Amino acid sequence: AQKITQTQPGMFVQEKEAVTLDCTYDTSDQSYGLFWYKQPSSGEMIFLIYQGSYDEQNATEGRYSLNFQKARKSANLVISASQLGDSAMYFCAMRCPNAGNMLTFGGGTRLMVKP
């Protein structure tokens, strides 16, 4: 079975600083995808970044980057130069084509950016 663990229920970061949100996963599949979503207080789920298990380079999307350490089964999200609008819930998710192809989500981390 696939499992995603986010060990930080809540985090604070000072505006303009970088922050790392942790995510570890467990799967026996060799092929899988890792995703991060942002959920602001308005409730919608916003896709941020994707990393494939065979991608050799860490994914980056603007201020978001994914620190992918395959041997450790971790896929941490790094947000650089935090902005007040980054305050939200962040969810890590995994998809395994050999296991139904649906997204399995972690419990989320609430990020609060301090001015």
Partner 1 sequence: DAGVIQSPRHEVTEMGQEVTLRCKPISGHDYLFWYRQTMMRGLELLIYFNNNVPIDDSGMPEDRFSAKMPNASFSTLKIQPSEPRDSAVYFCASRSGPPQDTEAFFGQGTRLTVV
Per CB under 8 A, residues contacting partner 1 are: 33, 35, 37, 43-45, 47, 50, 91, 100-108
Measured from the CB atom, is 50 or 64 closer to partner 1? Answer: 50
Instruction: Name the residue nearer to partner 1 (CB basis): 6 or 87.
Output: 6
Spatial separation of the C-alpha atoms in residues 38 and 42, rounded to whole Å: 11
**Contact assessment for residue 18 and residue 78, using Cβ atoms and an 8 Å cutoff:** yes
Minimal distance, residue 107 CB to partner 1, in Å: 5
Backbone dihedral region for residue 90 (phi beyond 0: left; psi -120 to 50: alpha; all else: beta): beta
- Measured from the CB atom, the residue of 43 and 115 that comes closer to partner 1 is 43
Strand 103-105 vs strand 88-95: parallel, antiparallel, or unpaired?
antiparallel
- Least spacing, CB of residue 82 vs partner 1, in Å: 23
